[in-house]
Amino acid sequence: AQSVAQPEDQVNVAEGNPLTVKCTYSVSGNPYLFWYVQYPNRGLQFLLKYITGDNLVKGSYGFEAEFNKSQTSFHLKKPSALVSDSALYFCAVRVISGSARQLTFGSGTQLTVLP
């Protein structure tokens, strides 16, 4: 079985400061890893993914995430937060070799960027 943990329900950061949203995962094989963002009353939007290759992946809106296999983590980062980054962020995983096509999502982290 695959699972995702987002240990922080809420992250607050001042505008202009770096932000980190944490994610750890548990799978029995090699993972595909994703970050999605959800703005109020909107569907989830894809931010970035790790499939293979370089452990540091860059995505939309200046976000990036680092795949760390030894720590089974995939933390989302941004060097300088914007107020408009305030939203609900979800980490998700899928096993590469599994027959299941669905993603398993974490419980989400509410990011609030304070002006």
Binding site for other proteins (CB under 8 A): 4, 6, 9, 32, 34, 36, 41-46, 49, 51, 90, 92, 94, 100-108
* Min CB(77)–other proteins separation in Å: 19
* Min CB(16)–other proteins separation in Å: 30
Cβ closest to other proteins, residue 43 vs residue 53: 43
The whole-angstrom separation of Cα 38 and Cα 26 is 23
* Min CB(18)–other proteins separation in Å: 25
Query: Which residue, 6, 5, 4, is CA-closest to 109?
Result: 6
Cβ closest to other proteins, residue 46 vs residue 80: 46
* Min CB(27)–other proteins separation in Å: 13
Cβ closest to other proteins, residue 78 vs residue 94: 94
Q: Quick check: 90 and 38 in contact, CB under 8 A?
A: yes
Cβ closest to other proteins, residue 28 vs residue 107: 107
Burial class (CB in 10 A: 0-12, 13-18, 19+), 22: middle
Dihedral of alpha carbons 62, 81, 18, 113, sign: negative
Query: Which residue, 64, 58, 70, 56, is CA-closest to 19?
Result: 64
